[in-house]
Amino acid sequence: MKYPIIIERTARNYSAFSPDLPGCVATGRTLEQTIKNMEQAIRMHLRGLQEDGLPIPKPSSKLTYEVSNHEVLTGIEIRV
């Protein structure tokens, strides 16, 4: 499954979230580190949902999001 993520650049670091996984966030000093941290956060988030017996949300097949000049829209492939 490939979950879309939004990465925002701030003055000191980057932060990321997935619109499909409310509450699943990550930060990093670099773009690459933020993506890596977000991948780990998504894995932990999905594992927690499974352990709690909750359904795993399907990734958006279509995402409409207006990206500003300090944001990046990408996706992370996760095997569940």
Phi, psi angle pair for 37, to nearest 5°: -65, -35
For the stretch 37-46, pLDDT in tens is: 999 999 999 9
DSSP E strand stretches across 1-80: 2-9, 14-17, 25-28, 71-77
For the stretch 52-76, pLDDT in tens is: 999 999 887 666 555 566 666 666 6
- Tell me: domain 2-77, CATH 3.30.160.250, correct? yes
Mean pLDDT (the chain) is 85
Q: What is the pTM of this model?
A: 0.79
